Amino acid sequence: MTLSAERPHEVEKESFVPPASNAVSRRRGGGWLSQHVGTAIVAGFLGYLLGHWLGNYISSGYPVVTNTGQNSIADLMALIFMVVGWLAGIGALNYPLAKLVGREAKDDVELTGWSKYFRFNLDHKVVGLQYVLGVLLFLFTGGLLAMAIRTELLNPTTHVFSADTYIKIVSEHGTIMMMMASSVVIGPLGNYFVPLMIGARRMAFPRIEAFSLWVFLAGYMVIFSALPFGGFPTGWTGYAPLQTQAGPGMVSYLFGFFVIGLGMMAAGFNLAATIINYRAPGMTWSRVPVFVWSILATAALLTLATPVLVAGGLFGLLDKTVQTAFYVTEHGGSSYLWQNLFWFFGHPEVYIMALPGFGIVGEIIPVFCRKPLFAYRIAAAGMIGVALLSFFVWQHHLFQSGIDPDMRPLFMLTTELISIPTGFIFLVGMGTLYRAKIRFEVPMLFCMAVYFNFLIGGVSGVFLSDVPVNVTVHGGFFVLSHFHYTIMGGLIFAFMAGLYFWLPKMTGRVMNKRLGLWHFWTMFVFFNLTFFPMFIIGLLGQPRRVFTYAKNLQTLNDFSSISAFLLGASFLIFFANLMWSQFINPKKSPANPWESLGLEWQTATPIPPHNFDRIPVIMTDPYHYSEAGAPALADFGDDDFVHTSSGSTTSGDGSA
């Protein structure tokens, strides 16, 4: 097949020697050699102290009024300086500060070994693995809070926590999990594999990519700092007027969203720029892998929707510190303004979480079915359609918030319409599975679970889009169960599928299959035993975020809680597998253990800093499994790695 477009780097056929400016694993020379996570923590702590002192100084003589007597200006200044200190301590500000004062940035010194994973690094593969660690940290701490919630709900009258403490645990759990979920795929797997899948040597803006990671981690620390401040009682949605009445922990919530929003915008812009501009010669839009399509749609949502959240958080911070009245109704503001701003971001965010999961599954199932991806173009169109329609559904979250009743039919319609492109994506998977000879490896089992779980979540979502049903079950456990089936049942299962599938390429070491099977079956079974009873609990009238409930619901709650504890234990199996297979008893992975046609499997293992010695020329899409006479995926300009139509990788002499 001939190329459909000429690209400036198409003629670049000679062996590649990375220049000094290329985004490889590097650190600063000169006086910045000691910058790492430790110095970032110290600098962040010193920044916090300085900011708190400065905030108190600025507000001296100014009547700072809060419901707790806490100085919100000092709290906010402390968090701002903490984030700046963290970024300065890790080295994220070295380059822009050098340019700002008119100096040339010092040459980078290449890093080797484990130290590169604890420093500011410009290699997208290192950043991807750093994101993996950050996401697992989010997941672990959020999971511990979930265990505390289910412990409280073991009994309707005997309480482990007070009502005030319980709602703050619920709020912290929801906020941490939602912020983790926003980057759970696009951070680790998107940053790591998008350049490899499109034949690029690096991300478009490596420093922005690394910056987004360390801002993401700073946002985690800011949100977690709400607990020492007394937490916040609003749930993860932060609704006013509870927001304006809350104590100093609310400042951490609002600024945490602000900080993570900056990182999300940076990541989305960078990924979109990379996909649009850095595709290899011959990779037309009809040949882009479906995972890359999902990341592109997600990047568009991150870039366009997140600024609304950042602005909403800024308004809330101004209300808490300098006493503006954006959300204070008694002073001329509107609590509905926050709801509209939050959900204008918040419902696209649902698809920021769901679309990458669809992309992972669409990328994996052809490998284990040994069939081309069914209706590839429909899958790509469905993702773009979901991204577009997700901006027109946000007010279904306000069906009971006092909006104009005449608006309800419109948003009921748009919410139901979005199920059409979502259904397209689902049917593409079903078409690929139809009459396939499936290899039930661990990644494939997680993909099958995604379809099962998301079907339940999607069907329950159609009910919730209907105004009469929504009014009946709003604020109850039915909504909670739907949301967990959609996000955890879809996204987290897909993330696990992606880790088991791609970790052999990321680390060069295979995961233990037996432990992987134990992890899958315990996670799948106990996930459903945890959350399916919540549909029944919700229909029987139990509200969310309340620690006292009717005694006749205790049996169902106890069953759900015990299942939740076992679900949490399933993640311990995963962590044990990770430690055992990657560190304690590592076994070298074959170059292409799954016999995938994907371009990311066609480079050496371990992957060199520059990814490809020669820019590949793409000849077809990567889904021609079991097609006789199908063209090779790519031409690398030599005989080292040539992909055959059968899906096996051969060396230059023709041996397997």
Please list the residues that pair with 108 across neighbouring strands.
28
What is the spatial distance between Cα 518 and Cα 59, in angstroms, rounded to a whole number?
A: 57
Inform me whether the pLDDT recorded for 110 exceeds 90.
no
* pLDDT the model gives residue 2: 33
* 480 plus 437 within the same structural domain: yes
Q: Does residue 468 have a cis bond before it (omega within 30 degrees)? A: no
Decide if pLDDT at 66 tops 80: no
User: Does residue 455 lie within any of the structural domains?
Assistant: yes
Distance CA 125, CA 482 (A): 34
Please return the burial class of 409, using the count of CB atoms within 10 Å of its CB with bins 0-12, 13-18 and 19+: exposed
Which letter does DSSP use for residue 596 in this model? -
Reported as a pLDDT band with limits 50, 70 and 90, residue 181 is confident
pLDDT tier, 24 (very low <50, low <70, confident <90, very high otherwise): very low
Identify the pLDDT of residue 109: 52
Pseudo-torsion of CA 339, 345, 348, 354, nearest 10°?
A: -100
Q: What does the pLDDT read at residue 631?
A: 77
Answer yes or no: do 144 and 216 share one domain: yes
- Whether residue 153 sits in one domain with residue 95: no
What integer pLDDT is reported at residue 325 of this predicted model? 92
**CA geometry: angle at 512 spanning 507 and 514, to 5°?**
160
301 and 281 in a single domain? The answer is yes
Domain tally for the chain?
2
**What angle, 0 to 180 degrees and rounded to 10, lies between the N-to-C axes of helices 72-90 and 290-321?**
140
Q: Give the relative orientation of helices 249-277 and 163-183 as an angle to the nearest 10 degrees.
A: 10
Is residue 241 domain-resident? yes
Distances (CA, A) of 454 to 385, 422, 491, 570: 18, 10, 9, 20
Among 584, 609, 633, which residue terminates a domain?
584
Asked which of 548, 567, 584 is the last residue of a domain, the reply is 584
- CA neighbor of 535 nearest in space, from 471, 451, 457, 450: 457
- What are the CA-CA distances from residue 641 to residues 200, 314, 604, 645 (Å)? 17, 52, 9, 13
Q: How confident is the model at residue 68 (pLDDT cuts 50, 70, 90)?
A: very low
- Is residue 26 pLDDT above 70, yes or no? no
Single-letter amino acid, residue 438: I
Which DSSP state fits 613? S
> Does residue 633 form part of some domain?
no
Average pLDDT over residues 83-109: 86
Per the CB < 8 A criterion, the answer to whether 321 and 76 are in contact is yes
pLDDT in tens, 447-479: 999 999 999 999 999 999 999 999 999 999 999
pLDDT digits (tens, 9 = 90+) for 383-408: 999 999 999 999 999 988 877 888 99
Residue 192 pLDDT exceeds 60: yes
State whether 132 and 95 are in the same domain: no
Do 482 and 565 have their domain in common? yes
- Specify whether 38 is located in the same domain as 174: no
pLDDT higher than 90, residue 207: yes
576-579, long-range: CB < 8 A, 24+ apart: 576/515, 577/511, 577/512, 577/515, 577/516, 577/519, 578/511
Q: Give, as one character, the DSSP assignment of residue 510.
A: P
Q: What is the DSSP letter of 132?
A: H
Banded pLDDT at 52 (limits 50, 70, 90): very high
Say whether both 213 and 92 belong to one domain.
Answer: no
Q: Where do the H-state alpha helices sit in 113-225?
A: 124-152, 163-183, 191-197, 206-224
Tokens of 487: 């996000």
Question: Can you say whether the dihedral through the CA atoms of 374, 379, 381, 382 is positive or negative?
Answer: positive
Query: What 3-state class would DSSP assign to 108?
Result: strand
Looking at the chain, the whole-number percentage of residues with pLDDT higher than 70 is 89
What pLDDT is recorded for position 141?
94
- Let me know if residue 611 belongs to a domain: no
- Tell me what pLDDT residue 342 has: 95
Decide if 642 is inside a domain: no
- Is pLDDT above 50 for 7? no
Report the helix count and the strand count for the chain, using DSSP H and E. Answer: 20, 6
Residue 444 placed within a domain? yes
Tell me, yes or no, whether 356 and 444 share the same domain: yes
3-class DSSP state for residue 28? strand
Confidence label for 643 from pLDDT (cuts 50, 70 and 90):
very low
CATH number for the domain including 272? 1.20.210.10
Distance CA 85, CA 366 (A): 46
Beta carbons of 453 and 493 less than 8 angstroms apart? yes
Q: Are residues 116 and 249 in the same domain?
A: no
Domain-located, residue 577: yes
Identify whether 160 is part of a domain.
yes
Is a pLDDT exceeding 50 seen at residue 5? no
**Residue that finishes a domain, picked among 95, 120, 145:** 120
Find the domain containing 241 and state its range. 121-584
Residues 83 and 172 in one domain: no
On whether the CB atoms of residues 191 and 502 are closer than 8 A, the answer is no
Q: With cut-offs at 50, 70 and 90, classify the pLDDT of residue 556.
A: very high
The mean pLDDT of the chain is: 88
Average pLDDT estimate for 24-45: 69
Closest of 458, 474, 506 to residue 401, by C-alpha: 474
Spell 38-77 as b/e; 16+ CB within 10 A means b.
Answer: ebbeebbeebbebbbebbeeebeeeebebeeebbbbbbbb
How close are the terminal C-alpha atoms of the chain, in Å?
A: 25
How would you label 157-195 residue by residue, b for 16+ Cβ within 10 Å and e otherwise?
eeeebeeebbbbbbbbbbbbbbbbbbbbbbbbbbbbbbb
Task: Retrieve residue 344's tokens.
Answer: 């204008």
Q: Are residues 217 and 325 in the same domain?
A: yes
